[in-house]
Structure formats: structure tokens, C-alpha cells
Amino acid sequence: MKPLELDYFYGNDAEQFTFYRIPKVLFTDQRYKSVSVEAKVLYGLLLDRMSLSIRNDWLDADGRVYIYFTLEEAIEFLGFGKDKLVKLYQELDRDRGIGLIERKKQGQGKPTKIYVKNFTIPGDAPLTSEKPKSEPSAALQTSEMAKSRLRSGRSADCGISASNYTDKKDTEWSDTESIYPPSAPTGPTYGQGPATIEDG
């Protein structure tokens, strides 16, 4: 397969696109480790559909939001076959799977109502697979003298050590909103100072 000739992102270019949101907890909480990546992506699509339901005021008698997302729509979005998607829905369903969705059949040719369940458990901290971080000793934080074996390709007379590896992948508390101001309009601006017309 020949790779696409794609450009880089510059500045806040990525802010012009819309994205599906898949909660990070589905990847970090041990309770969701058994859920396949495909089912997690399907859950992200179902979460996205919630905004449409809220705009359409699709609430049941108890005020719970429900969505419609047919098997045919899921096939179109994800490109999987019918059997695969039936299994993914079952993997998410309360009756046969993890319980992230609850489906209510309406019968008479009407589409099934899907209640997308909240992935957080009230009053419960997520069960992460990460080990608690311990504070390194002061000697490790300040020492420029190697206290263990040398890295390959490095001599003992080196001055300052190479920079430490940091844990920059931890984005759990990152603000995902844009840090860039809205783009300034391009093109001519009107009404800024007197206009002059020169005769030639």
C-alpha cells in the first residue's frame, strides 16, 4: 500500500476537526480490560450519538436519555460485518456483557432504544493498572555522577548526563480544550482608517 502524501499540523490546525471521544478510563481501569478495543470504539460512537438525542429531547418517562443506533448504521461507520457487530453490542450490553449499554426492543418494526450507561461508578475510584509512583531519593534527583553502569556508546569522562526520561504520556488531568485563541480572519479588513484613491 502506498502511503498518503499528508501535511503536518501547524499551530492550532487540529482544532478545526471534530473527534469521537472514547473515555480514557475504558483503557486504564482494570474493570474494562476485558472489553475489546472495537467495543470501546463502538461505545465512543454511541456516546457521540447522545448529543443528538439530547437535542431531539429523546427522554423516557424517568428522564433518561436514549439513542437510536441501528446495526446497519454501526456496519456503515465501523465497516465490520453483521455477526461481528452483534458480538460487539453483546459485549457492551447489560444482559450479556460489561453493562455499558442497555437495549430495549420496541417491536412492530421500530428501532431498539439504547440507553448508554455512565462509565463511572458513583463513589468509586477507578482500578488502574499503574503502580503508585514513589518519590526518588535526593541523590537521584541532583547527582550528575553516574552511580550505575554506563549506557552503551557513552564514556566515563562525559560531563553532564543526558536528560532524564519523563512521564509525559500521563494526560489524565490535561485540559483538552484549545489553548490557542481563535484564528484571526484573513483577507482585507474594512473600516480601519481612511481610504484613499489615487488618480493615475
Q: Is 123 left (phi over 0), alpha (psi -120 to 50) or beta?
A: left
Per-residue pLDDT, 15: 83
Query: Can you tell me the distance from the alpha carbon of 51 to that of 49, in angstroms, rounded to the nearest whole number?
Result: 5
Per-residue pLDDT, 182: 52
User: For the purposes of burial, counting CB atoms within 10 Å of the CB of 69, is it exposed (0-12), middle (13-18) or buried (19 or more)?
Assistant: buried
Per-residue pLDDT, 178: 47
Give every residue of the chain whose pLDDT is below 50, as ranges: 132, 140, 143, 173-174, 178-181, 184-200
Which uninterrupted H or E stretch holds 101?
A: strand 101-104
Contacts of 132 (CB under 8 A, 6+ apart): none
Give the three-class secondary structure for 113.
strand
pTM score: 0.62
| Cβ–Cβ < 8 Å for 42, 88 | yes
Per-residue pLDDT, 19: 87
